[in-house]
Amino acid sequence: MGLLTKEHFDSIGTAEPSIEVEISRREIQKYAAATEQQQPKYIQGDEAPPMFIFNLFSPITALADMRVDGLARGNATGPKLPLKRIMAGGTQINQHKLINPGDRLTGIRKITDMYEKQGSTGPLIFTVRSLAITNAQGELVLEEIQTSIAR
Amino acid sequence: MSTALTEEIGTGINLAMLSVGSELPQRRHTATNVSLFMYNAAVWNAHRIHYDETYTIGVEGHPAIVIDGPLQGDWLSQVALNWAGAQGRVMNFSYTNRKASYLGEVLTSGGNVTTVDLKNRLVEIRLFIKNEAGEVVTPGTATVSFS
């Protein structure tokens, strides 16, 4: 295969700029409605369910910088991938503290691994990113390890 | 739309009565164009495979609109969160999107207990999202700590 270059492997370990987010009750409520949460604390927005953080620490991209597939152009760390069709591959979450409205959280994401596999329809590139979320006191709130698959 | 398939969620777990293999409540999930719009708006995701059928089939080669992998991850996490209720805390969970699922499929979430550690009051759970053929499309695990 050999689709990944030295430049790709060199990007492993490079952190993206940190992103700060203030947690909003209304955003939790929207997420809870969309995911059909059943617990009142989520429905009322008193607490965020753990998967609420998905995509929360991605940059907000201008419309002019969106690709034709609807994904942001050049928004991730590292060189462009030679395969462009992206799918979610899976996630691991370790939650240390609850997330509540009014929290000011900082997320730092970095690539921790890249590798190739041969799929049934062609080559696949796996990119593993870690996200560390801390609160205003600098305490670790949540860690996420996310795998995306380019095909 | 999601529908509970088994017992109600949340309260009255007796840790001493739990055993390996104990089943968690199951829930049926039927994604719609509206629910996928709401989810992708909530997470600020404009990927066209979740709302533009012509593009999804014609350009990306999928048979239909793709149900978001992280949405399935959320449904899977809810199995553990709802089962644990106020008594337990989900310390960690993980899942793998093993096989794509498409609009029109009816998915079922559920799980079962794999380890009960009475000393440390920890329970390990195996989680799943299955399709109508009974295939596990999204397997996962979770660790729940009980007070």
Question: The CATH number of the domain where A45 resides is what?
Answer: 3.10.129.10
- Tens-place pLDDT, residues B94-144: 999 999 999 999 999 999 999 999 999 999 999 999 999 999 999 999 999
b/e string for A17-42 if b means 16 or more Cβ within 10 A? eebebebeeebbbbbbebbbbbbebb
Whether A66 is covered by a domain: the verdict is: yes
pLDDT of residue B16: 85
Determine the distance from the C-alpha atom of residue B23 to the mean position of all C-alpha atoms in its chain, rounded to a whole number.
14
- Tens-place pLDDT, residues A102-114: 999 999 999 999 9
Mutate to test the interface with A, among B24, B26, B43 (most CBs of A within 10 A): B43
Tell me the range of A119-128, B16-25, B68-77 where mean pLDDT is highest: B68-77
Determine the distance from the C-alpha atom of residue B101 to the mean position of all C-alpha atoms in its chain, rounded to a whole number.
13
- Structural domain boundaries enclosing A61: 6-150
Whether A18 is covered by a domain: the verdict is: yes
For every residue of A33-62, which 3-state class applies, written as one string?
HHCCCCCHHHHCCCCCCHHHHCCCCCCCCC
Q: Which of A147, A35, A13, A148 is nearest to A92 (CA)?
A: A147
DSSP state of B46: -
Distance from CA of A55 to the nearest CA of B (A): 6
Residue A103 touches chain B, beta carbons under 8 Å: no
pLDDT of residue B5: 63
- Residue A78 structure tokens: 């590292």
Q: Which of B81, B141, B111 is nearest to A47 (CA)?
A: B81
Residue A24 touches chain B, beta carbons under 8 Å: no
pLDDT of residue A38: 96
H or E element, residue A26: helix A25-34
Residues of A in contact with B66 (CB under 8 A): 87
pLDDT of residue B91: 97
**In this model, does residue B7 exceed pLDDT 60?**
no
Residues of A in contact with B75 (CB under 8 A): 35
Residue A59 touches chain B, beta carbons under 8 Å: no
- The ranges assigned to domains in chain B are 2-7+18-31+67-146
Sign, CA torsion B125/B126/B129/B131: negative
How far lies A110's CA from each of A90, A96, A116, B109, B127, in Å? Answer: 16, 20, 18, 31, 28
Residue B8's pLDDT band (cuts 50, 70, 90): very low
pLDDT of residue A33: 98
Distance from CA of A8 to the nearest CA of B (A): 24
User: What is the rounded CA–CA span in Å between residue B134 and residue B103?
Assistant: 17
Residues of B in contact with A91 (CB under 8 A): 70, 73, 94-95
Residues of A in contact with B43 (CB under 8 A): 31, 54-56
Whether B44 and A33 lie within 8 Å, measured CB to CB: no
Return mean pLDDT, chain B.
93
| Domain count within chain A | 1
Whether A71 and B96 lie within 8 Å, measured CB to CB: no
Whether A1 is covered by a domain: the verdict is: no
Reduced to 3 states (helix: H, G, I; strand: E, B; else coil), residue B16 is helix
In percent, how much of chain B has pLDDT > 90?
86
Q: Which ipTM score applies to this complex?
A: 0.93
pLDDT of residue A95: 97
Whether A53 is covered by a domain: the verdict is: yes
Distance from CA of A14 to the nearest CA of B (A): 24
pLDDT of residue A87: 83
The residues pairing with A125 across neighbouring beta strands, listed in sequence order, are A116, A150
pLDDT of residue A105: 98
Sign, CA torsion B5/B8/B9/B14: negative
- Tens-place pLDDT, residues A21-40: 999 999 999 999 999 999 99
Q: Give me the residues of chain A with pLDDT under 50, please.
A: none
Q: Which fold has domain B2-7+18-31+67-146?
A: Thiol Ester Dehydrase; Chain A (3.10.129)
User: What is the rounded CA–CA span in Å between residue B90 and residue B144?
Assistant: 4
